[in-house]
Chains A and B, each alone.
Chain A
């Protein structure tokens, strides 16, 4: 089983829609979780951290469910500029950082 698994998508939704996707992880000792965003042919960049209590950054909400070992990302009122690949990331130890394979999101006008 992969350490981190994501639905590859693509998710194709209309502008203004709400979209959510999950990421499951296998290492229950994982401490820190993040969502990164990667635009086509670009490098990944940090989108937001994921806290146990859940956290929100504008239209983006991230949640962590330790009991079921998954994290989620919710995007409200999606914009064309949200089209990208979203990567879930966790730290399996102090410095080893593992990326999921990414979920492709495409927002259509």
Chain B
């Protein structure tokens, strides 16, 4: 079975440009998480969805960040306008309702560089 799929894997953009990161969770999983990882701050939870509904977005840095989950198989994280301090690896992860271990399955991440 396919795991969590993220795109793009790498993106280099200039300050001020819009960035859209995409995620396809594992089929049948009902929770989806967006994390950001930097050397300085580690893995930070940005937002998570349960059954396509945003539950907690308190980790979203500011209004420049937005996330959507229009259906169970797709989510986007958008940054507009982007700034150099947004440079990080952005991970999407999904979790199944029936998962007794509570295991999170991560995508390979989207490495963003804002110049």
Interface positions, chain A 30-56, Cβ under 8 Å from B, are: 32, 34, 36, 42-46, 49
Contact of B43 among A46, A49, A95, A99 (CB under 8 A): A99
Interface positions, chain A 68-109, Cβ under 8 Å from B, are: 87, 89, 91, 95-102
Contacts A95-B50, A95-B55; A100 near B107 (Cβ below 8 A) = no
Q: For B31, what are the chain A residues with a Cβ–Cβ distance below 8 Å?
A: 95
- The distance in angstroms between the C-alpha atoms of A46 and B109, with both chains bound, is 16
How many B residues face the partner with a CB closer than 8 A? 21
Contact of B56 among A36, A96, A102 (CB under 8 A): A96
Report the minimal beta-carbon distance from B87 to chain A, rounded to whole angstroms.
Answer: 15
B23-47, CB under 8 A of A: which get 1 and which 0? 0000000010101000001110100
Chain B positions near chain A (C-beta within 8 angstroms): 31, 33, 35, 41-43, 45, 48, 50, 55-56, 91, 95, 101-104, 106-109
Tell me if B's interface is mostly helix, strand, loop or mixed. Answer: strand
Contacts A32-B102, A46-B101; A99 near B42 (Cβ below 8 A) = yes
Task: Report, nearest first, the 7 A-B pairs whose CB atoms are least far apart.
Answer: A101-B42, A43-B106, A99-B43, A46-B103, A32-B102, A49-B101, A44-B106
How many A residues face the partner with a CB closer than 8 A? 20
- The distance in angstroms between the C-alpha atoms of A96 and B31, with both chains bound, is 10
The contact sample of 17 A-B pairs, CB cut-off 8 A, is: A34-B102, A34-B103, A44-B91, A44-B104, A46-B101, A46-B104, A49-B101, A95-B55, A95-B56, A95-B95, A97-B95, A97-B104, A99-B35, A99-B43, A101-B41, A102-B42, A102-B43
